[in-house]
Amino acid sequence: MKNKHINEIEIQQYVLAKDDCDIVIVEHINHCQKCKAEAEIYELLFAAIKKEQNPVFKFDIANLVMQRLPEKQNFSFDKYLIALLSTVSIAILSILIYLTNKYFPTVFNGISSIQFLLIMVTVLLISIFIYIDMNRNYKNQMNFC
Ligand SMILES: [Zn+2]
């Protein structure tokens, strides 16, 4: 018999699995009133926990949550907005080029058409890459909401 009382964890082990328990612990509990009483309290507690049924909501929690979740956003509004902004930007740029061309008639005469084409292709490629990147980031963010 151990001189010291056995600790809480050992008592719990004894209550939950008497067969696998260390013989020293079993002996101690059989002879010590205090530890035996504690073991009985744990037995009552575990029995009560087993009896307690899992809490069940009286309403359909999944359904309620699903209703609250925002519907997957429709992309049509964003597409219209992008199209509108692009159109406005192109219109403003065209007007500016038209207006400034009057004052600087040689602005676009200085570069050859091949240079102009290279600039346009570069701008277009960069724009496409930026759009793809933005779109991917947006979709990633929407997935985690
Ligand atoms: Zn004891």
pLDDT of the chain along its 145 residues, tens only?
Answer: 446 888 999 999 899 888 888 888 899 999 999 999 999 999 999 888 888 777 777 778 788 888 877 766 555 677 788 889 999 999 999 888 888 777 666 666 677 778 888 999 999 999 999 999 999 988 888 776 5
Kindly give the distance from the C-alpha atom of residue 12 to the centroid of ligand 1, in angstroms, as a whole number: 13
- Residues 53, 115 within the same domain: no
Specify if 84 maps to a domain: no
Kindly give the distance from the C-alpha atom of residue 32 to the centroid of ligand 1, in angstroms, as a whole number: 5
- Residues 58, 114 within the same domain: no
34: number of Cβ within 10 Å:
10
The total number of structural domains in the chain stands at 2
Specify if 128 maps to a domain: yes
What pLDDT does residue 145 have? 55
- Residues 56, 116 within the same domain: no
Specify if 81 maps to a domain: no
**pLDDT > 70: percent of the chain:** 87
List b or e across 101-124, with b for residues whose CB sees 16 or more CB atoms inside 10 angstroms: eeeeeeeeeeeeeeeeeeeeeeee
Task: Provide the whole-model pTM.
Answer: 0.37
Kindly give the distance from the C-alpha atom of residue 39 to the centroid of ligand 1, in angstroms, as a whole number: 10
Kindly give the distance from the C-alpha atom of residue 34 to the centroid of ligand 1, in angstroms, as a whole number: 5
Distance separating the N- and C-terminal Cα atoms of the chain: 60
Specify if 1 maps to a domain: yes
Specify if 119 maps to a domain: yes
Kindly give the distance from the C-alpha atom of residue 41 to the centroid of ligand 1, in angstroms, as a whole number: 14
- Residues 2, 58 within the same domain: yes
Q: What is the Cβ-side half-sphere exposure of residue 115, based on CA atoms within 13 angstroms?
A: 5
Kindly give the distance from the C-alpha atom of residue 23 to the centroid of ligand 1, in angstroms, as a whole number: 14
- 99-124, pLDDT tens digit by residue? 877 766 666 667 777 888 899 999 99
- Residues 56, 6 within the same domain: yes
Domain hosting 17: range is 1-68
